[in-house]
Structure 1
């Protein structure tokens, strides 16, 4: 069993999107006091930790991922005293606290950028990535922003372009400047001193850029049509994923190790070799764990899940993954994978059973434990710059960010007493409210509580080795440790599969163990102890 300093190994981390969790002051936007009030729900669920998306001072061009003060709380969410009270409340309930760190870029309103953009010779002149135009006035290279268009913005005062891998309001720090690295580490120390248990690193592979500003090579997916986002037409070998990243991640890990019992999880934003980077970034004294978007997309097959797990541990036998099916950046998985479901509840329970049976740490996104679905929004309701830029082919991220539903009968499903909330609550989401499921033993919420209790009580499900059984699509089967069998039917049809003899059923859905086999109904699954 992992020691107390390795609480994160195999842990279940519950992601809170602060704007949408609980509004305490009635302004229609979630806040820290609201989070503190609802921590009991997360503790009762059986999670080990919470992760908060950014709560720092920000103009909110990208909903807090554009930070203008790294050591204070945005008034929308409360105060530092509210933050301290939330941390204390979480710790009293046995919950660790992880907070987002957006280190790759700041807001363009940050005082350092305001100074940097004024001239080429001020004290912060080299704190951001600046480059001269080409002779014809165009941008220095072909790099594309993740939010559409070139990744460069002209600044007339300096007669130069600055790099922004995301919005133009999010200029990239120059990590080749050691002063920048030291200052960012200092901001992390500020939160460690306030008692946080770890960090989630936003875009952890974007820190360093190619010093020579060489072009990215093209990528052709063979479809014959350009993708919705032109950034997907490049392999980002120059713009991110630089070898210098490794040394900085080791510095972050060394900082956390000074405090003991702290952990860092990194987001790997990469469409080509994400699993490889996850392994590289978690081997040795680097990140404790990492996740990518490999399981956050449309693919839903036994081969896909098996490949990701096997590939990770083949490439990084000493590394550690953090798996997730949903988060604040992608459509909710019950909607994403609806075509493979017998019904929403069955698919939600099957997905939860699969995710929580994987070796590694697990991230659950708020509402996932309710089987929550994606919210349909009109264009005029959007706040997300990604959705606004790429509508209607890409409707953005607002659909997964709508408020948490606590009460089926209260206004705004118990999220807020305001007349209007920052994003609306629709009836399909309200129907999945906590109070509508809490006393129903067949609900998705009841299932998640049972599944988390099972995972917590069986060390094999957290850290035991994984051995896949040879099964045909759409059935995925593996052993955890020596005797825990996990079998999943990833379809709305029935299937029979040969498995080792079952001694004790631990948890199941539409599953009938037979002599040396199991018959799985639509979206059926079986977790069992085998004879031996």
Structure 2
């Protein structure tokens, strides 16, 4: 047994713990500050681990904490194997992970492999000449005869995906900021270096990886132009706001290349050398996303699971949720999905799903009831368990380069990244003792702070805790089958079944009460008290109030 394998030994032997798991995303900058600089840190995460464990989740997804100049808030990595001093030290990370494991929590860390920071030593060396040892570690290309960029590829963050370098007298590719050059995965040495970085964290005992922009790793070696986006095409790349011309192209050549499958097999082979590790990939591929997920998760030899942006939009309707779930299960076969309504890149879902602020609490509760009932693993984003709405920020408060560039038509991602409110009466809601927090805490968030909801019957926080406990208590909700019901009423209705655990769910996402007559083949054995749902059964008809649901054993 190697030393690295010995360090991994304390993990549970259940290799499939991730299947049906509840994952809680922590954005470290905004979770808890312990050193008074106005920015969250790893010691802050450790301090709040009991709170996370009390929610009833299985794992934490930790957004980037690696060494970085922070041009894109840590998604521009300059050292894959160290902690940025802003967040602490490797010792702080080890202490946090040890405490998480003592509390029964797994740790999944965010790996950004498609690109680095332009301050990474690899890129600094690569740009010095065309013949240095790392000259071809990044995507370099000669200009066209007229000096313009090699092709028409666009950046997700706006403008061309090419930046001129005066030393090499070539362009380098960047799918995001110009300070985030893309690595060239066609180079085997690059793959080896990235796998080595992953191994570094596996040897420290992490339980898995969330892989950022997992379909962006490879590019077309011929650098062919992307065609214009055809409105009915499956090749759309609408992963950027419509203020950005990125969505005007079909992204056939700048991402989602077939060579990526072979690399993901190599990545999975590394994970399989350790017990109980997992991987979840972020797939941003427009209408092609499900096909990409199928290719990346099928067969048990690539990623364990993926998530798309399908449920991260404004549509919270029965038809949309049913379409997303059925499309996934019809397309992906033996793959696995991770569903989420919010994360660090999109507006918080209670603001996306409902305009009326008075209804947000009801929608927050209903949304997690729906999410916890779906087939797949689920991911919660810090603060959603408090029902936090999107924060409205002034332009001078923004830090997100994406929002700054496209203001005011697109306000960026800062509104979902504001600090976690812990204590309503404290400065900055208990997030920091600094005079100024890196982002302000809105007054409406302070009113929803943890201490205002803790132990309060009927609060969103307590509803989350009870709902997650309900999910964990029913095997059908972990990995049971799912079957949607065809009903005349506009409700979300489906069954979940595993062995003797067979449950019926009916959710009314509309604004008025509905009476639902069940199909003749559905026989109710007993009503089940899913937390927060008050639907009733009278003479074979299910009565469900607005933004409410019904659960029964069948």
Cα distance in 2 for partners of 1:237, 1:505 equals: 48
Deviation at 1:474, TM superposition (A): 3.5
Q: Which moved more, 1:516-525 or 1:170-179?
A: 516-525
Contact map agreement 1:506 1:529 (CA 8 A) in 2: no
Work out which of the residue numbers 207, 213, 234 in structure 1 matches 2:249. 234
The whole-number CA distance in structure 2 between the counterparts of 1:148 and 1:261 is 40
CA deviation profile, 1:279-318 (whole Å, cap 9, x unmatched): 2211111100000111001122211111111111111221
Q: Which of 154, 159, 165 is 1:155 aligned to?
A: 165
* Cα deviation code 1:482-508 (max 9, x no counterpart): 621111111222111123454122214
Shift of 1:472: 4.3
Contact 2:13 2:276 (C-alpha < 8 Å) held by counterparts: no
Give the Å deviation of 1:512: 2.3
Equivalent-residue separation in structure 2 for 1:401 and 1:265 (angstroms): 21
TM-score scaled by length of structure 1: 0.97
In structure 1, what is the equivalent of residue 272 of structure 2?
A: 257
CA 1:341–1:520: 2 relative to 1, 3 Å: farther
Q: Which moved more, 1:146-155 or 1:437-446?
A: 437-446
Deviation at 1:154, TM superposition (A): 0.2
Match of residue 80, structure 2, among 70, 73, 88: 70
Aligned to 2:420: 404
Name 1:29's counterpart in structure 2. Answer: 39
The equivalent residue for 2:513 is 494
Q: How does 1:321-400 map to 2 (within 5 A)?
A: 321-339=337-355, 343-400=359-416
The aligned residue for residue 466 of structure 2 is: 450
Task: Give the deviation of 1:510 after TM superposition.
Answer: 4.3
CA–CA distance in structure 2, aligned partners of residues 470 and 220 of structure 1: 33
* Aligned residue in 2 for 1:288: 304
Match of 2:4 in 1: none
1:464 paired to 2:480: yes
CA distance in structure 1 between the aligned counterparts of 2:222 and 2:34, rounded to whole angstroms:
49
Q: How does 1:112-131 map to 2 (within 5 A)?
A: 112-131=122-141
Does residue 248 of structure 1 match 2:263?
yes
Say whether residues 1:16 and 2:26 are aligned partners. yes
1:194 corresponds to:
204
Contact 1:340 1:490 in 2 (8 A): no
Question: Which SS does the other structure have where 1:445 is aligned?
Answer: helix
Structure 1 residue runs without a partner (length 5+): none
Q: Name the structure 2 match of 1:517.
A: 541
Q: Distance in 2 between matches of 1:342 and 1:409?
A: 23
Contact in 1 for aligned 2:13/2:275 (Cα 8 Å) = no
Map of 1:529 onto structure 2: 553
Report how many residues are paired.
526
Partner SS, residue 97 of structure 2 = helix
Matches within 5 A, 1:165-184: 165-184=175-194
Partner residue, 1:83: 93
Deviation at 1:513, TM superposition (A): 2.3
Q: Give how far 1:341 is off.
A: 8.3
- The 2-side partners of 1:317 and 1:40 are apart by 37
Structure 2 contact 489–514 (Cα < 8 Å) conserved: no
Whether the aligned pair in 2 keeps the contact of 1:267 and 1:291 (CA below 8 Å) is yes
Query: Structure 1 CA distance, aligned partners of 2:157 and 2:62?
Result: 23
Cα RMSD (Å): 1.5
Distance 1:292 1:261 in 2: 24
Provide the secondary structure at the position in 1 that maps to 2:483.
Answer: strand
Match of 1:504 among 527, 534, 537: 527
Instruction: Kindly state the Cα deviation for residue 514 of structure 1 after the two structures are TM-superposed.
Output: 2.1
CA distance in 2, matches of 1:253, 1:527: 38
Between stretches 482-491 and 332-341, larger displacement belongs to 332-341
1:267–1:473 CA distance, 2 compared to 1 (3 A): farther
**2:290 aligned to 260, 275, 289, which one?**
275
SS at structure 1 position matched to 2:24: strand
1:220 positional shift: 4.6
Counterpart of 2:16? Answer: 6
Could you state the TM-score of these two structures normalised by the residue count of structure 2? Answer: 0.93
Q: CA deviation at 1:340?
A: 8.2
Q: What does the per-residue CA deviation read over 1:73-129, in whole Å, with 9 as the maximum and x for residues that have no partner?
A: 000000000000000000000000000000000000001101111111111100000
> Which one is further off, 88-97 or 430-439?
430-439
